[in-house]
């Protein structure tokens, strides 16, 4: 039905015709979550994701709807998904080496594992920003794995991203004993424990990348001796996304020494093997009895 002449939404005979629509116009620069929170999409998102920007927009939509409904993302986070979550994760690409710079696997693509992936952060944004990587999303909870599998299928990433349900300590210890060029974790555990967990999963010469908060230097100071004893070398802090995001991402980077042992899977310090070695090399002190309770194997004279 044609609107009446002169009414809002109608055209008068002498009005100029509107310009033809452009189906190739850029996607909207705002996103809205179920709580009504509207977030302006940062300009840096187009730079970071390039021709995969549209996939990043779709992923944000999934996080702000199904992600919230399933309890993977807090409702208050929907107004800051781009800056706080997607870009914070995607700029990690700056710290991930290229195949030519990384020893280990002979495969063409560098293999990365996102440990405790949750809703896919940082693994999915990293995969979108770096199509040259093969990314494994490791997550122990079934409901989260279902969401991850749906996201991978929806975004068309099945050839690049794999979802694995399991615990980090089991990946390297149980068949098929998988290891990776790069192990990534986002605020999963204290650094000392995290280093012990990721070491068996990291190939000799491979890299651990731990996304941390503003206290990363204090955390590193407290954990440095543990990381060193576990076999991590070239331990340093890197900032990613400077000039792109308001608050750059802070990353602890460390390289696994080729001589590092498997460690104790996260039980801390020098590991169970070292503790057992100290027990067997130290002489045992004789057990002394008391007047009321003699030592085992001795009888009290009467």
Mean pLDDT on 177-190: 93
Q: Above 80 in pLDDT, residue 225?
A: yes
Quickly state the pLDDT bin for 277 (edges 50, 70, 90): very low
pTM of structure: 0.75
* Long-range own/partner contacts, residues 143-150 (CB < 8 A, 24 or more apart): 143/70, 144/72, 144/117, 144/118, 144/119, 147/62, 147/66, 147/67, 147/70, 147/72, 147/119, 147/120, 148/117, 148/119, 148/120, 148/124, 150/62, 150/66
Looking at residue 203, its pLDDT comes to 96
Cα-Cα-Cα-Cα dihedral sign, residues 23, 24, 29, 33: positive
pLDDT at 158 over 90: yes
Q: Would the pLDDT of 229 be above 80?
A: yes
* Average pLDDT for the chain: 81
Comparing 299 with 40, the larger pLDDT belongs to 40
Residue 295 has pLDDT above 60, yes or no: no
- Model confidence at 104: pLDDT above 70: no
Is residue 152 within a helix (H) or strand (E), and if so which, with residue range? helix 142-154
Distance CA 271, CA 266 (A): 8
Q: What is the pLDDT of residue 259?
A: 85
C-alpha distances in angstroms, 14 versus 9, 11, 226?
15, 8, 79
Rounded to an integer, the average pLDDT of 269-281 is 40
Residues whose CB falls within 8 Å of the CB of residue 40, separated by 6 or more in sequence, listed in order: 29, 30
Tell me the C-alpha distance between 80 and 45, whole Å.
Answer: 13
pLDDT at 272: 41
> Is the N-terminal amide bond of 266 cis, ω within 30° of 0?
no
């Amino acid at each position: 039905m044609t609107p009446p002449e002169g009414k809002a939404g109608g055209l008068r005979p002498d009005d100029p015709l509107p310009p033809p629509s452009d189906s190739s116009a850029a996607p909207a620069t705002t996103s809205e979550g179920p709580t009504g929170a509207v977030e302006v999409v940062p300009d840096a998102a187009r730079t970071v994701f390039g021709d995969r920007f549209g996939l990043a927009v779709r992923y944000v939509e999934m996080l702000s709807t199904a992600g919230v409904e399933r309890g993977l993302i807090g409702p208050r986070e929907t107004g800051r998904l781009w800056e706080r979550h997607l870009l914070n994760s995607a700029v990690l690409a700056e710290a991930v080496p290229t195949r030519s710079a990384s020893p280990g696997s002979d495969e063409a693509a560098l293999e990365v594992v996102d440990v405790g992936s949750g809703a896919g952060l940082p693994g999915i944004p990293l995969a979108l920003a770096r199509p040259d990587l093969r990314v494994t999303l490791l997550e122990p909870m079934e409901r989260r794995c279902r969401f991850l599998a749906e996201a991978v299928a929806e975004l068309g990433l099945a050839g690049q991203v794999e979802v694995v349900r399991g615990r980090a300590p089991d990946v390297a210890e149980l068949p098929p004993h998988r290891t990776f060029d790069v192990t990534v974790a986002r605020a999963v555990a204290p650094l000392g424990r995290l280093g012990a967990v990721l070491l068996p999963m990291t190939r000799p010469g491979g890299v651990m990348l731990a996304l941390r908060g503003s206290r990363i230097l204090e955390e590193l100071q407290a954990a440095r001796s543990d990381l060193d004893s576990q076999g991590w070398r070239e331990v340093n802090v890197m900032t990613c996304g400077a000039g792109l995001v308001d608050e750059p991402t802070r990353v602890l980077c460390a390289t696994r020494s080729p001589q590092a042992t498997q460690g104790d899977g996260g039980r801390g310090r020098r590991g169970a093997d070292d503790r057992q070695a100290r027990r067997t090399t130290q002489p045992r002190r004789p057990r002394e009895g008391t007047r009321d309770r003699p030592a085992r194997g001795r009888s009290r004279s009467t």
